[in-house]
């Protein structure tokens, strides 16, 4: 199954090469979901901007990775919307 995923190489904000696989992102989503379950929050929606911050990767690269997972049917994503309070775009992702 490890060969099923391809990695995406990008540079983080500090200029360090990052190789983030969709499998890494999926594992992190499972971990975040587990934490939310233990805290009693059963929403299970995570912002793409939050995931990109956790992996220290640019937003666009995280969106590319999540698109791969979406094509495989492993996650569901909301439409990309502009936040009311700021200029940042945000989309939410959850496990299917």
pLDDT in tens, 19-48: 788 888 889 888 988 888 888 877 778 888
Contacts of 36 (CB under 8 A, 6+ apart): 42, 43, 44
Domain count, the chain: 1
Res 77: pLDDT: 84
What CATH number is attached to the domain comprising 23? 1.10.10
Give the residue with greater pLDDT, 42 vs 68. 68
Averaged pLDDT, 49-61: 84
Can you say how many angstroms the Cα of residue 47 is from the centroid of all Cα atoms in its chain?
A: 7
pTM summary value: 0.71
The token pair that represents 44 in the structure block: 């299970």
**Domain span at 50:** 2-95
Res 9: pLDDT: 59
């Amino acid at each position: 199954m490890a060969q099923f995923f391809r990695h995406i190489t990008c540079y983080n904000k500090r200029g360090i090469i990052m190789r983030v696989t969709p499998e890494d992102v999926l594992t992190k989503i499972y971990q975040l979901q587990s934490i939310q379950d233990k805290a009693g929050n059963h929403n299970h929606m995570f912002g793409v901007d939050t995931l990109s911050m956790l992996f220290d990767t640019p937003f666009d690269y995280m969106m590319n990775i999540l698109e791969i997972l979406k094509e495989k049917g492993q996650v569901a994503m909301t439409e990309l919307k502009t936040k009311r309070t700021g200029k940042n775009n945000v989309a939410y992702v959850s496990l299917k």
